[in-house]
Homo-oligomer: A and B are copies of this chain.
Amino acid sequence: MDRLESKLAKPVIQTLAVIGIGLIGSSILHAARKRRLAARIVASDKSQAVCDRAVEIGFADEVIADIALAVRDADLVIMCIPVGEYARVGAAIMPHLKPGAILSDVGSVKACVFTALDPVLREDVHLIPAHPVAGTEYSGPDAGFASLFINRWCIITPALNASAAATARVRSFWEEMGANVEAMSADHHDLVLAITSHVPHLIAYNIVGTAADLEEVTQSEVIKFSAGGFRDFTRIAASDPTMWRDVFLNNKSAVLEMLGRFTEDLTALQRMIRRGDGDGLFNLFTRTRAIRRSIIDLGQETAAPDFGRQRAPEKS
By a beta-carbon cutoff of 8 Å, the part of chain A in contact with chain B is: 84, 108, 133-134, 137, 152-153, 155, 182, 191-193, 195-214, 216-217, 219, 221-239, 241-242, 244-246, 248-249, 252, 255-256, 258-259, 261-263, 265-266, 269-270, 273-274, 276, 278, 281-282, 284-289, 291-295, 298, 300-301, 303-310
Contacts and interface: CB of A to CB of B under 8 A. Distances in A.
Given A276-B249, A305-B231, A241 B193 contact: no
Contacts of A298: 223-224
Contacts of A214: 195, 261
Contacts of A286: 241
B307 A232 contact: yes
Contacts of A308: 227-229, 231
Number of identical protomers = 2
Given A192-B217, A200-B230, A227-B308, 13 more contacts: A108-B228, A193-B228, A195-B214, A196-B230, A197-B229, A200-B228, A223-B298, A238-B288, A241-B289, A246-B278, A259-B270, A303-B310, A305-B306
Contact of A241 (B222, B227, B273, B285): B285
A241 B282 contact: yes
Contacts of A197: 225, 228-230
